[in-house]
Structure 1
Amino acid sequence: MPVPRELSPTTTRSGVDVYRIPIQPADIALLAGHPTRVRTYAGQFVGPTIRARTGRPVRITFTNQLDVPSNVHLHGGHVPQRSDGHPMETIAPGQSRSYDYPNNQQGATLWYHDHAHHLEAENVYFGLHGFYLIEDDAERGLGLPSGRYDVPIMLRDAQFDTNGELIYTEHPPDRTTILANGEVTPHFPVAARKYRFRLLNSANERIFRLTLGGADLTHIASDGGLLPAPVRRSEIVLGSAERADVVIDFSEHPVGSQLVLYDVSGPVLRFDVTREASDTSQVPDTLRPLPALPPATVERDISMKFDLSGANPVGLVNGQPYDPNRVDFRVKRGTTEIWRVKNDDVEFGIPHTFHMHLEQFRVLDRDGAPPTPDDAGRKDTIFVAPGETVRVQVTFTEYLGTYVYHCHYLEHSAKGMMAQMKIVE
């Protein structure tokens, strides 16, 4: 399994790390012996990894060398409106756009991906996705596995034709090939020591249920960063766009052992314990306590559903398809709100994931029951089963402007399952 290349800044100006990334087509062998035409950041099917630091700004200029519009959304990023990658603010072929990321948030596993409306599903499916990792001093001081032992893993699915080309359809039941960092069921040599793996589900429409062949995974972080304490898990469930950081201690297995990461559909990735190694890393009993939730002053209801009455499905949020000229919620800056997010697609049993731009939130309950272990910590994306209602609480902090919230099954948002909130004084 390859590890996505980390990109170094082109320059550093006045304390800002500056990057330039082309959005370009490339031919990459995703299947052995078959070059596949894909859309990439900097020629990589899993785009280059950006390692940022809390409190140190980053500016990235993307130049679109494709023949279709694109744009870039920093998923999980707390950023000003003009750098959020609003779906209507696209980069035309041959044009460039700069995004400024202040990184005024705690360490977390984020990712960047295309968000050009009506094209987001297709562009991401063909490869416009990459990791953006924020690190902070407090997290660094915990002694967690780092450096070459801190490995991002992007999981997704795909469908190929007999020539090795990706097949894209708006209805994806045949995406049966699983890729880990762009490789089909790869192996990854590891030393007999602790590793941190940053797991991301970048599939357009999929749930991963991950197990490690009977061994435990130590869950240490979710979408928005570290959990209050590590949790031993036998299974990690990731809906589309969700992340989970886990630690695996391979010193518990003799050299020559093989451990397989499984999904319910079959093997995803094999770890081969190939050598002994010293290890000074640790997983402390306390990671990062969560602050107390402030009282909420506003409650809102959000419904996600398809209108299937016409020739083409139309995605709806609160009964309406996306309209970039309409503001659905006006939110006062500094307030705390509770959102009741419901999946109303009961008749046909259609699942959804819910993603909010700008702010992380906390899950309060699911149908009145306690949150699941996969809901723990700061979240920006949650899975919502047909008929289910999930309550989340969010505080809107300093930024003003218009941001979207939507189903992160990208074929669903491309068909209109998206709405807008405007943060006002």
Structure 2
Amino acid sequence: MDRRRMLTLGGLAVGGVAAVSSAVSVSAALKGEDRTAERHAHGDAGGGGTDARTVAAAPLVEPFSVAMPVPPVLRPTYVGSTSDLYQLPVRAGTVEILPGLATPVVGYNGQFVGPTIRARKGRAVALQVTNQLTNPTNVHLHGGFTPAVHDGHPMDFIAPGATRSYAYPNLQHATTLWYHDHSHHAEAEHIYRGLHGFYLIEDDAERALGLPSGQYDIPILLRDALIGADGSLVFDPTNADNRPHILANGKPQPYLRVTGRRYRFRLLNASLHRIFRLRLDRGQLIQIGTDGGLLPAPLAVSEVRLTPGERVEVVVDFAGQPAGTRVVLEDTSGPVIGFDVTGPATDDSRVPDRLIPLPALPAATVTRDVALSFDPSKLAFTVNGKTYDATRVDVQVVNGTTEIWRVTNRDTAFGIHHNFHLHLVQFRLLDRDGVPPAPGEAGWKDTVHVPPGSTVRVQATFSGFTGKYAFHCHFPEHSSLGMMAQFEVVNKTA
């Protein structure tokens, strides 16, 4: 097998949709499981079965010719004394991503970027999800501290036509989370076709800081796609590098009109494979948060790097830019968003020198090793040499204990990148190859980049909920094809 082919296989899924279907059916036959949940949403999603090699790509849109929308905030259907009820249908829809082209998608409320849920710490949310697709789905609150039954376990499906409720206690500090499909084997395609949205938790400590808020606090979902000349979202898991359309909140390299004041941008990488390296062509990025919440202090940074699933919060001050100036958020591949300054504005926000302090880390009592690797002999993505098996518990953790997990990417021969996502908890990155983390990675995290040959050490406390949860690479095409495992939190026995 030549290097280019191996990179294609290792960087994404193995053998394309046919291989996925084959692997699924073989696995089902061997385990005797009901695999109706593995039927992909080709009919609902539009073009799911299309051979990408026969589809001409739509031309790239001139950058900054389309306005960037802000995802609408979902309103509760019922407001109780201590909790709120939200209803969220999952259904097929048609949207305009590229000008003049109709694109079939699968989305929450039929939207390509789902509505934003804004929750309050200590005020519970009940999310009632109705599956209006012809195939199973589910919802995972990425980064959420949730009971196992409400985590969106990869094998916990919502059947077509069914409704189920997820209960989120919202016991975390203010943070930027997101929700997405996590139905095993289908999660990559479902996310690609639009099953993603923001979930923001707010609290009094954050509010007291005086950071930009309201219309000046903007979540931005970044991702890539291959959009065909017919408008279809072309999903080819063997060719991840051929996704040339860069989207921000579902629009290609858009513009956003801003006034001359501070803005808070919550950036999420919802791609399947692309790593963003973001910087401004003028002005400065002030990083204030990571996956799990605000940093102890703001950081002036020249660049932020986001692998799939990671979030970062930044403040940009446009006060020094004259009206008519365009400030460009750039990736190494080109422009992402143009911020068009319209003129001066009053600004009562601030970025204080101190944000939210990090607590001292408790002593860890257990250290574990996790190896991420691609097995070319089996064409499989593995965790510690094994592909995912929902009937197997790979790690058992005692409730209330603190552990260090040493995560190594062993895919050095072909330079395959991975990252590591741990459900249930937020962790702290201790070091990367023995070097303390950069300040921008020193806050709470739930997803961390693990480059080829690299080892990261993370520390987490597993306290509060028991049950089975997943850990995996959050390049979704890797986890769909096996790079996922399961841990179980159990109460200590006498």
TM-score (norm 1): 0.98
Q: Equivalences for 1:278-289 in 2 at 5 Å? A: 278-289=346-357
Q: Distance in 2 between matches of 1:15 and 1:57?
A: 7
Of 155-164 and 12-21, the range deviating more from structure 2? 12-21
Aligned letter for 2:119? A
* Residue equivalent to 2:446: 380
Check the 8 A contact 2:260/2:317 in 1, yes or no. yes
SS of equivalent residue, structure 1 residue 140: helix
In our comparison, the structure showing a higher alpha carbon Rg is: 2
Check the 8 A contact 2:282/2:327 in 1, yes or no. no
**Per-residue deviation, 1:214:** 3.7
SS of equivalent residue, structure 2 residue 280: coil
**Per-residue deviation, 1:13:** 2.8
**Per-residue deviation, 1:348:** 1.4
1:64 lines up with 2:131 in the alignment: yes
SS of equivalent residue, structure 1 residue 47: coil
4+ residue segments displaced more than 4 Å: none
Deviations 1:76-103 (A, max 9, x none): 0000001100000011111111100000
Q: 2:419 aligns with which of 353, 358, 373?
A: 353
**Per-residue deviation, 1:16:** 1.2
Q: Distance in 2 between matches of 1:121 and 1:262?
A: 26
* Residue equivalent to 1:258: 326
Of 34-43 and 164-173, the range deviating more from structure 2? 164-173
**Per-residue deviation, 1:376:** 2.2
1:392 lines up with 2:458 in the alignment: yes
1:233 lines up with 2:330 in the alignment: no
Bigger strand share: 1
Q: 1:414 aligns with which of 461, 464, 480?
A: 480
Of 345-354 and 123-132, the range deviating more from structure 2? 345-354
**Per-residue deviation, 1:196:** 0.3
**Per-residue deviation, 1:254:** 1.3
**Per-residue deviation, 1:240:** 0.7
Q: Equivalences for 1:226-375 in 2 at 5 Å? A: 226-310=294-378, 313-375=379-441
Residues paired across the two proteins, number:
423
1:114 lines up with 2:178 in the alignment: no
* Residue equivalent to 2:205: 138
* Residue equivalent to 2:489: 423
1:22 lines up with 2:89 in the alignment: yes
Deviations 1:113-157 (A, max 9, x none): 000000000000000000000000010010000000000000000
Q: 2:259 aligns with which of 171, 187, 191?
A: 191
* Residue equivalent to 2:30: none
Bigger helix share: 2
Aligned letter for 2:324? G
Of 191-200 and 211-220, the range deviating more from structure 2? 211-220
Check the 8 A contact 1:237/1:374 in 2, yes or no. no
Q: Distance in 1 between matches of 2:227 and 2:260?
A: 36
**Per-residue deviation, 1:314:** 1.2
Structure 2, unpaired ranges of 5+: 1-67
Check the 8 A contact 1:193/1:249 in 2, yes or no. yes
**Per-residue deviation, 1:215:** 2.3
Aligned letter for 2:296? P
Check the 8 A contact 1:353/1:381 in 2, yes or no. yes
Q: Distance in 2 between matches of 1:8 and 1:69?
A: 25
Aligned letter for 1:405? F
Q: Distance in 2 between matches of 1:309 and 1:28?
A: 41
Aligned letter for 1:25? A
**Per-residue deviation, 1:373:** 3.8
**Per-residue deviation, 1:194:** 0.4
Structure 1, unpaired ranges of 5+: none
Aligned letter for 1:302? V
Q: 2:195 aligns with which of 119, 123, 128?
A: 128
Aligned letter for 1:242? E
Q: 2:285 aligns with which of 204, 214, 217?
A: 217
TM-score (norm 2): 0.85
Check the 8 A contact 1:111/1:130 in 2, yes or no. yes
**Per-residue deviation, 1:39:** 0.4
Deviations 1:175-204 (A, max 9, x none): 111000000011000010000000000101
**Per-residue deviation, 1:308:** 1.5
Q: Distance in 1 between matches of 2:439 and 2:353?
A: 17
Q: Distance in 1 between matches of 2:332 and 2:163?
A: 41
Q: Distance in 1 between matches of 2:342 and 2:327?
A: 12
Q: Equivalences for 1:8-157 in 2 at 5 Å? A: 8-157=75-224
Q: Distance in 1 between matches of 2:79 and 2:281?
A: 45
SS of equivalent residue, structure 2 residue 258: strand
- RMSD over aligned Cα atoms: 0.8
Check the 8 A contact 1:238/1:374 in 2, yes or no. no
SS of equivalent residue, structure 1 residue 123: helix
Q: Distance in 1 between matches of 2:284 and 2:303?
A: 8
Check the 8 A contact 2:282/2:328 in 1, yes or no. no
